[in-house]
């Protein structure tokens, strides 16, 4: 079916423009469904099937749209596609990770109904865990900081999380912030009856992100390069493993703020990109899966986020702006006939109280 000049796949929700991808790009065909007539207009009965499948809010996680940039990517460059992870229930791809971590712990018997959940987070993981815990009936304790977007902290509280805020240095994400937050988490664990999801060390997260990789393969078939900002590294590693299984020569590019370029061998430093650049090499980061590490200028990423909203109608945060900045660089390097994919990590609605959209 069509909507506002975009074609939507009825099975997976993938979108592409009427102008469309090049002929070699494979997009799954819509699943046939019965139709009834209402005033001469055909209405698909697929909606009733979808309603039966959406038993809880957790069933709405994943199967996000995949869209191609139309104006930012020049015609003589590779195609650039984004997975719109803002369409998850909390507006972030961290919903995938949160659900995977909680359900794996349940299956192993490590998380029982009488227990609570504990996590340190820059915001999006906390909101995602709060949603999953609310849906499943768990208490959630979150350690975060005022260095992160106020909207994220408020979202965690709104979803029922008990929030402990670690003070930052002038609102910046500094190398000492995460160690301080983790120290508080270890102290709380001593009180007992809490399951620590420990996102930086928890490889259950990659199962949730592997599904994201599978959706990209199903939606596009061919992928020549994939790039993403590194926080826990779970998303990049989960997607990379799937893509390499299908396309062994795919180029996987890890991204980080240039002021805290630890993956590139530099020193940890301050920055303001939520969810990335923790100041240490995350335990889940597997260098053998990565073709290249690319440091990026945060200011250019912020400018790209604003351009993305104004020129493509894709409303997201700074990490997405940096993803797109790198994806466009890769598109120029690879040239026409190739496909570059990245993710729109979350929604710009999480950043309206800051200066990302108010500072220019």
Residues 83-99 have pLDDT tens digits of 999 999 999 999 999 99
pLDDT band with cut points at 50, 70 and 90 for residue 50: low
Which tops the pLDDT comparison, 184 or 8?
184
Least confident of 23-27, 63-67, 153-157: 23-27
Integer Cα distance of 163 and 165 in angstroms: 6
Residue 297: partners with Cβ closer than 8 Å, 6 or more residues away? 258
Q: Which fold is adopted by the domain 2-90+210-351?
A: Rossmann fold (3.40.50)
Total-model pTM: 0.81
Asked if residue 32 has pLDDT above 50, the reply is no
With 90 as the cut, is the pLDDT of residue 9 above it?
no
- pLDDT, tens digit (0-9, with 9 covering 90-100), for 243-290: 999 999 999 999 999 989 899 999 888 887 877 777 889 899 999 999
- 296-326: string of b/e by CB count within 10 Å (b at 16+)? bebeebbebbbbbbeebebbbbbbbbbbbbb
pLDDT at 29 over 50: no
Pick the CATH number of 94-196 from 3.40.50.300, 1.20.1600.10, 3.40.50.1100, 3.30.70.360: 3.40.50.1100
The token pair at 163 is 């929030």
**CA–CA dist 247, 240 (Å, integer):** 10
Identify the band that residue 192 occupies on the pLDDT scale cut at 50, 70 and 90.
confident
Give the per-residue pLDDT at 251: 98
pLDDT at 359: 62
HEC letters along the chain: CEECCEEECCCCCCEEECCCCCCCCCCCCCCCCCEEEECCEEEECHHHHHHHHCCCHHHHCCCCCEEECCCCCCCCCCEEEEEEHHHCCCCECHHHHHHHHHHHHHHHCCCCCCCEEEEECCCHHHHHHHHHHHHHCCEEEEEEECCCCHHHHHHHHHCCCEEEEECCECCEECCCHHHHHHHHHHHHHCCCCEEECCCCCCCCHHHHHHHHHHHHHHHHCCCCEEEEECCCCHHHHHHHHHHHHHCCCCEEEEEEEHHHCCCCCCCCCCECCCCCCCCCCCCCCCHHHCCEEEEECHHHHHHHHHHHHHHHCCCCCHHHHHHHHHHHHHHHHHCCCCEEEEEECECHHHHCCCCCCCCC
Q: Which residue is associated with the tokens 């120029």?
A: 332
293-336 confidence digits (pLDDT tens): 999 999 999 999 999 999 999 999 889 999 999 999 999 999 99
| pLDDT for the residue numbered 172 | 83
- How much is the pLDDT for 6? 36
Torsion 265-268-273-276 (CA) sign:
positive
- Specify the higher pLDDT residue, 240 or 51: 240
- 142 vs 271 pLDDT, higher one: 142
State the span(s) of the chain assigned CATH 3.40.50.1100: 2-90+210-351, 94-196
Rounded to the nearest 5 degrees, what angle is found at the Cα of 356, between the Cα atoms of 354 and 124? 70
Distances in whole angstroms, Cα of residue 86 to Cα of each of 22, 125, 345? 25, 13, 6
Q: What is the mean pLDDT of the chain?
A: 85
Q: Cα angle vertex 173, ends 168, 179, to 5°? A: 75
54 or 70, which is more confident? 70
Cα four-point dihedral sign 36, 39, 43, 48? negative
User: pLDDT above 70 covers what percent of the chain?
Assistant: 84
* Dihedral, CA of residue 319, residue 320, residue 321 and residue 326, to nearest 10: 90
The pLDDT, as a whole number, for residue 360 is: 55
Contact 200, 218 (CB under 8 A): no
**221-254 confidence digits (pLDDT tens):** 999 999 999 988 999 999 999 999 999 999 999 9
State how far the Cα of 251 lies from the Cα of 342, in Å rounded to an integer: 12
Q: Residue 291 pLDDT more than 50?
A: yes
Which structure tokens are listed for 275?
A: 């969810």
């Amino acid at each position: 079916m069509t909507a506002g000049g975009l074609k939507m796949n009825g099975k997976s929700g993938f979108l592409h423009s009427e102008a469309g991808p090049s002929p070699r790009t494979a997009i799954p065909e819509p699943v046939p469904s019965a139709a009834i007539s209402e005033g001469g207009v055909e209405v698909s009965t697929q909606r009733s099937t979808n309603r039966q499948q959406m038993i809880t809010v957790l069933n709405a996680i994943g199967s996000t749209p995949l869209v191609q940039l139309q104006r930012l990517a020049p015609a003589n460059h590779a195609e650039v596609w984004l997975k719109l992870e803002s369409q998850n229930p909390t507006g972030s791809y961290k919903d995938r990770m949160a659900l995977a971590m909680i359900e794996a712990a349940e299956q192993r018997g490590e998380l029982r109904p009488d227990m609570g959940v504990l996590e340190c987070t820059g915001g999006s993981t906390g909101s995602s865990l709060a949603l999953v815990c609310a849906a499943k009936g768990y208490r959630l304790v979150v350690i975060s900081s005022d260095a992160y977007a106020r909207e994220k902290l408020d979202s965690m509280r709104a979803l029922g999380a008990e929030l402990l805020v670690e003070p930052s240095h002038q609102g910046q994400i500094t190398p000492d912030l995460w160690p301080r937050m983790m120290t508080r988490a270890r102290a709380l664990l001593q009180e007992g009856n809490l399951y620590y999801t420990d996102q930086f060390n928890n490889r259950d997260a990659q199962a949730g992100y592997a599904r994201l990789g599978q959706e990209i393969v199903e939606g596009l078939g061919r992928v020549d390069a994939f790039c993403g900002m590194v926080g826990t590294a779970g998303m990049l590693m989960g997607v990379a493993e799937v893509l390499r299984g299908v396309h062994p020569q795919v180029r996987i590019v890890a991204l980080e703020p240039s002021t805290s370029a630890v993956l590139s061998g530099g020193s940890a430093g301050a920055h303001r990109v939520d969810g990335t650049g923790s100041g240490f090499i995350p335990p889940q980061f597997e260098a053998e899966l990565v073709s290249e590490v690319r440091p990026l200028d945060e200011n250019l990423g912020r400018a790209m986020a604003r351009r993305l909203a104004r020129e493509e109608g894709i409303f997201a945060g700074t990490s997405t702006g940096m993803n797109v900045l790198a994806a466009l660089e890769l598109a120029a390097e690879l040239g026409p006939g190739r496909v570059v994919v990245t993710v729109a990590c979350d929604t710009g609605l999480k950043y309206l109280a800051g200066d990302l959209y108010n500072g220019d």
